[in-house]
Amino acid sequence: MGAVLSELLQGNRRHFDPEQESFSKGDLLRKKLVLEGQHPKAVILTCSDSRACPETLFESEPGELFVIRVAGNVLSSEVLASMEYAVEHLETPLILILGHTQCGAIENARQYFQSENQHPSPHLNKLLSNICSHFDEHITGQDLEFSIKMHIEGVLKDLQLQSELLSEAIKEDRVELIGAIHHLISGKVQLL
């Protein structure tokens, strides 16, 4: 077993150790979630970047957020299906598309967009192309934050175009759709 996996498993053992101070609170919460189910107040599509952690950013307990993480907070059929599940079956009233400053995926997409080079990985090409679909000639000469906002706005539009279920839920006021950017240095969330 590798050192990293061993470290993760040791952390898991500590997490469920009755001798640890945090055990009783976590044990009660885990049992409650198993018995009563989850009732998230928001679906959050955000980046996989470890610095952008919604549970920490919004001081939320397990069960309060339905978090979907993918590099560059891009939409895919699996992401849309997860959102539809949360809205239809868990009756989650808010979808938040949360980008963040200093996003490496958006920076790479900017370079990809401007160079017209293909990445050697077809999977990364697909991800970068997804992000680039929200760019136009206006990103030239603009900073990274401009591109991040442009991408978030594109995701908001695509979500409504690609999911009839979510589009209807928005029209019926069963769910609110919001875009935001998380500023990594300050920790603040700026609504778009």
Residue 52: give its domain's CATH number. Answer: 3.40.1050.10
Q: Does residue 54 share a domain with residue 17? A: no
pLDDT at 1 over 80: no
Mean pLDDT of 73-85: 97
d(CA 9, CA 15): 10
d(CA 57, CA 184): 10
Mean pLDDT of 88-110: 95
Quote the number of domains for the chain: 2
Mean pLDDT of 155-184: 96
Alpha-helix residue ranges (DSSP H) falling in 17-103 = 23-36, 54-57, 77-89
Higher-pLDDT residue of 30 and 163 is 163
Q: Does residue 128 share a domain with residue 104? A: yes
pLDDT confidence tier of residue 40, bands split at 50, 70 and 90: very high
pLDDT confidence tier of residue 165, bands split at 50, 70 and 90: very high
Mean pLDDT of 146-155: 96
- According to the model, what pLDDT value does residue 191 have? 95
Q: Does residue 53 share a domain with residue 10? A: no
Q: Does residue 124 share a domain with residue 84? A: yes
Q: Domain limits at 16?
A: 1-37
Q: Does residue 44 share a domain with residue 28? A: no
pLDDT at 26 over 70: no
Q: Does residue 44 share a domain with residue 31? A: no
d(CA 48, CA 55): 13
Q: Does residue 126 share a domain with residue 64? A: yes
pLDDT confidence tier of residue 114, bands split at 50, 70 and 90: confident
- Listed residue (107, 89, 4, 100) closest to 44, CA to CA: 100
Contact 123, 129 (CB under 8 A): no
Mean pLDDT of 70-95: 96
First to last CA, the chain: 45
Q: Does residue 32 share a domain with residue 77? A: no
pTM of the model: 0.87
Q: Does residue 33 share a domain with residue 45? A: no
Q: What SS3 state is found at 48? A: coil
Residue in the block written with tokens 């990293």: 4
Q: Does residue 95 share a domain with residue 9? A: no
Own/partner pairs, 28-31, CB within 8 angstroms, 24+ separation: 29/61, 29/62, 29/63, 30/62
Q: Does residue 14 share a domain with residue 51? A: no
